[in-house]
Amino acid sequence: MRPGPITRLPNFFSHYGRQLGTLAGLVGLILVLWGLTPHFLTVSNLLNIAEQATIIAIVAAGMTFVIITGGIDLAVGSVLAFSGVVMASALLRGLPLPLALLLGLGVGLTCGLINGLLITVGRLPPFIATLGMMSVARGAALMYTEGRPISGFTESFRSLATGEVLKIPTPVIIMIVVYLIAHFVLRRTKLGRYTYAIGGNEEAALLSGINVRLYKTMVYGIAGLLSGLAAILLTARLNSAQPIAGMSYELDAIAATVIGGTSLLGGEGTITGTLIGALIMAVLRNGLNLLSVSSFFQQVVIGSVIILAVLIDMGLKRRGK
Amino acid sequence: MKKALGLILLGILSMTFLSCQRGTEQSGGTPRIALVLKTANNPFFIDMQKGAEEAAKKLGVTLIVQAAEREVDVEKQMQIIENLIQTKVAALCVTPSGSREIVPAIEKANRAGIPVVIVDTRVDAKTMSESTGKVATFIGSDNYEGGRLAGEFIAKKLDGKGKVAVLEGIPGHETGDSRLKGFREALKAFPGIEIVATQTANWERDQGFNVFQNLLQSHPEIQAVFACSDLMALGAVEAIAAAKKTGQITVVGFDASDEARKAILGGTMDATVAQSPAMMGAMAIENAYHLIKGEQVQAEFVVPIKLITKENAGTSDK
């Protein structure tokens, strides 16, 4: 029997209801800020927020894959710094732009794959493996640059961050493309289905013939690759690659993912939720700046929002069962 | 949909919190000047903020002070500046978290017609010259001279002969680099003095402690240390105490914070270089005010510095 519209409806909500919830949170936040300051709801400020969200959002997209498998990646911020400085020095040494970009992505991908192998072949807990990589990649970035930032790039490289397409900043467009691809991969491909399966029950996934090692390694590779992409955008944005860049970005990315409804226990989560989570964080920071809230109190507010978002999420889940 | 309601409620709740906190947002016709600090939890910048607040009060302008959570977070500082541009502040005063990384933010502010006053840390001249932005005026200490004074003090204290260690700030930071350059220049006149180790402690106190503890292990013969900031110097003081070497090693810092002055009076530190952060803050606001009024300002103001030792540590002269 074909399911009628009525039987399909609850299905629709179980699928998208949680994201609708997060989305409603974002809309609520926007409405409140609109009421509080005239500077908030302007086209230029909204584009400004989208641009500010891009780097964490791109890192968080990779983090979502990792967290859905039930893992965690603490290395993304350090990997970002390392990819950034390697690419930057290659650019300054005159490597053609496309090759330098590929090099940056490649460094990120490699670090991610090493994480994956340490976890799958080395059987290290993701927390430990990526904690180690966090320190290794940071140290490598510092050694590579002797602690100094690398700066002074060509206009064509910088236009990756400063350019516009149809009045929309290039980084925002790149972010949207990343999310479209990530959404497609997670929803429509074998890799995506296996990501959920591994996070839901790794043992069962293994027994049903999924090559868990391969797909898990790929997932950490994706996280590294996206850190490399974020490094490119950050370097172009600041016109400088810093070995100390990206510190604590892993925590911002985890926060965006979790606010977006992805469970740290694995097996569930959506890429759209993470995008909304990253936007909530950016809107919150922007709004707090616009309202001239003291920087200390801002941290209290952001932390509270993370805690409350997850509390509400968990409460709803319990009730749903 | 309960979650949605919950989140909206949460949003409203947090915003009501905020509405108690705000106040500077819409304050009539007075010009709004923003001061973006490297951090809001370093005594140096707290003094700067105080000086700026007093000047703003005197001039009748609204002052907005913002800072990133971490001193080194150049991206966050850029975001704060972008957000302040959105609120259409009349002028921006910034203590750059990165001498080069600040340049794109200056460009953005200028494009929005907002003049930028740079305080404390000089912008990298080369990066600036390649950009379309313009620094309206720079207000800062002569860090090179400060480093030189510190170097001379140490050389004299050691009678021109001995082994010295240096705790650097974050490499690539103009302030720290200039202090170091001045310090090295001063020591050139004393060939008997050797810099045996120089390491960064990232401007932080706990890192100053750890790094200097390690240096004491590898170079137990160190007789003096120059730290490019008081926080790092105070960290070194604790490391010296932990090694039971208090009084045997000359410690010179930079900034003349209250705690450093106390340490000098107490004999655990020997000297520090006094800047006048409050004066810098006040001058920044005054010059921003002139710029808003369309008046010409000098391209650069050098705020005087001096060496603080046991003789003058007790007199407050901020």
Which pLDDT tens digit goes with each residue over B288-307? 999 999 998 888 999 888 89
Contact: B104, A146; criterion CB under 8 Å: no
pLDDT for the residue numbered B72: 81
Q: Cβ of B8 and A28 within 8 Å?
A: yes
Q: B18 at the A interface (CB within 8 A)?
A: yes
Within 172-231 of A, beta carbons closer than 8 Å to B belong to none
Q: Cβ of B132 under 8 Å from any chain A Cβ?
A: no
Cα–Cα distance between B154 and A149 in angstroms, integer? 30
Structure tokens, B90: 């009349």
**Which comes out higher in pLDDT, residue B73 or A83?**
A83
User: Would you place residue B22 in the very low, low, confident or very high pLDDT band (cuts 50, 70, 90)?
Assistant: very low
pLDDT at residue A215 is higher than 50: yes
Q: How far apart are CA A294 and CA B18, in angstroms?
A: 10
CA distances from B16 to A57, A290, A319 (A): 27, 15, 29
Residue A78 structure tokens: 């350090």
Query: Which element (helix H / strand E) includes A194?
Result: helix A190-200
**How is B153-176 classified by DSSP, letter by letter?**
HHHHHTTT-EEEEEEE-STT-HHH
Nearest to B14 among A22, A294, A301 (CB): A301
Task: Please give, rounded to a whole number of angstroms, the shortest distance from the CA of A303 to a CA of chain B.
Answer: 11
**Look-up of token digits 């140490």:** B154
- Of A245, A244, A88, the C-alpha closest to A151 is A88
pLDDT tens-digit series, residues B218-258: 898 999 999 999 999 999 999 998 888 888 999 999 988 88
Whether chain A has a CB inside 8 Å of the CB on B2: the answer is yes
Buried b (16+ CB within 10 A) or exposed e, A143-174: ebbebbbbbebeeebbebbbeeeeeebbbbbb
Tell me the whole-structure pTM to 2 decimals.
0.81
Q: Find residues 141-170 of chain B whose CB sits inside 8 Å of chain A.
A: 170
Mean pLDDT score, A41-67: 94
What is the C-alpha separation between A143 and A81, in angstroms, rounded?
12
Interface test with B, best of A154, A238, A283 (most B CBs within 10 A): A238
Q: Higher confidence at residue A313 or residue A215?
A: A215
CA distance A294 to chain B (A): 7
For residues B225 and B160, the answer to whether their CB atoms sit within 8 Å is no
pLDDT of residue A307: 87
Least confident of A1-5, B1-5, B39-43: A1-5
Q: pLDDT band for position B2 (50/70/90)?
A: low
Task: Report the 10 Å Cβ neighbour count for B284.
Answer: 30
Is 70 exceeded by the pLDDT of residue B21?
A: no
pLDDT of A10 reads 46
Rounded Cα distance between A144 and A158, Å, is 22
Model confidence over B90-132: pLDDT tens digits? Answer: 999 999 998 889 999 999 999 999 999 999 988 988 888 888 8
Identify the burial level of A303 via C-beta atoms within 10 angstroms of its C-beta, where 0-12 means exposed, 13-18 middle and 19 or more buried.
Answer: exposed
Residue A64, pLDDT above cutoff 90? yes
Beta pairing, strands B62-67 & B32-37? parallel
Find the Cα–Cα–Cα–Cα dihedral B23, B27, B30, B36, rounded to 10°: 30
Our CA-based measurement puts residue A98 at a distance from the nearest CA of chain B, in whole angstroms, of 23
Token pair 């005594």 is at which residue?
Answer: B43
Asked if A225 contacts A277 with a C-beta cutoff of 8 angstroms, the reply is no
Are the beta carbons of B258 and B43 closer than 8 angstroms?
yes
- Phi-psi label, residue B62: left if phi above 0, alpha if psi -120 to 50, beta otherwise: beta
CA angle centred on A186, ends A46 and A70, rounded to 5°? 100
Between the alpha carbon of residue B180 and those of residues A233, B166, B185, B220, B228, the distances in Å are: 33, 8, 8, 22, 7
Q: What are phi and psi of A248, to 5 degrees?
A: 65, 10
Q: Do B22 and A291 touch (CB under 8 A)?
A: yes
CA-CA distance, B123 to B101, in Å (whole number)? 9
